[in-house]
Amino acid sequence: MVSENVREIAKKAVKTSNMSTQVSLSGITLDNPVIPASGTFGFGYEFADFYDINVLGSIALKGTTREARYGNPLPRIAECYGGLINSVGLQNPGVEKVISEELPKLKKCFRKPAIANISGFCVEDYAYAAERLDKEEQIGLLEINISCPNVHGGGMSFGTDPGCAYEIAKAVKAVTTKPVYMKLTPNVTSVVSIAESCAKGGADGISLINTLLGMRVDLKTKRPVVANKAGGFSGRAIKPVAVRMVYEVYEAVGLPIIGMGGIASAEDVIEFMLAGATAVEVGAQNLVDPYACKDIIEKLPAVMKKYGIENLRDIIGGAHV
């Protein structure tokens, strides 16, 4: 006769096996909602020496512009309580080399659709890069960065103006068949108005938040720590701001959301999804721990069990009444 303890263990095992971490972004099924954020995971293949990166839901590739960029002058990084400030300035080899050199390297070790992150300095820049990447089979969706605080004459300046956000979303949608997710800045009075403009422009989804604008001053030199003076503040300290903005945009705009900002644990993933995110991106934590995303994914089932969650899709927006 099978003891009651064995029966209970068997029941729990069956219940755990029925758990689902799958989510869907505009028709693309992800094994789990965890995605390394653009700018914190290179082009993905760099991490393949650490672990099998196919455990990831997807990968948001390093920000790509029409032409190659060296980025901002050094120093570019400043540590601070609860996070860090970066002023990298979209350093990348340009879209043509991303297609000819970076994507083939990624294909050797990653079999899932990746997310291309695109930045620009005018509407034409965004449209050009989007049209080129639209032809790449490896790319599942396009994340359009109108929120980078570390460049002049583009980036965040587009993301603070509803009219500009609309024009870029519309221009990119005109040249691509892939889903378009607009990545928004928190450095605005109303993130909802920007999200609504993106939706009107035809965006398929919203990514938020990008970094807050921050600064450190060196007490010895009495000068800003980073050469660009200010930079993007990211890390665990910004999570409450990010959760609030995801919550607001979910209520206002009927589009799927990729949430990000201070995510460092499986519990953080659940919190963002309850606020309205369908998937999440892990950013600064990758710079602290290269195994961060893998560890979060491995711990998700136990956290789901702890809070009585069988299917992650069921909790999206669960904090709303």
Alpha carbon distance 134, 128 (integer Å): 10
**pLDDT of 159:** 77
Alpha carbon distance 148, 170 (integer Å): 19
Tens of pLDDT, residues 118-147 = 999 999 999 999 999 999 999 999 999 997
* Torsion sign across C-alpha atoms 29, 248, 63, 131: positive
293 is catalytic: no
Tens of pLDDT, residues 172-186 = 999 999 999 999 999
Tell me which of 80, 122, 148, 164 is the catalytic residue: 148
pLDDT of residue 212 exceeding 90, the answer is: yes
pLDDT of residue 5 exceeding 60, the answer is: no
**pLDDT of 149:** 56
Domain borders along the chain are: 29-70+98-212+235-315
Helix axes of 239-252 and 266-275: crossing angle, nearest 10 degrees: 30
CATH class, 29-70+98-212+235-315 region: alpha beta
Which 3 state secondary structure label does DSSP give 206?
A: strand
* Helix (H) and strand (E) counts in the chain: 11, 15
Bridge partners of 84? 79, 234
Task: Name the more confident of 16 and 54.
Answer: 54
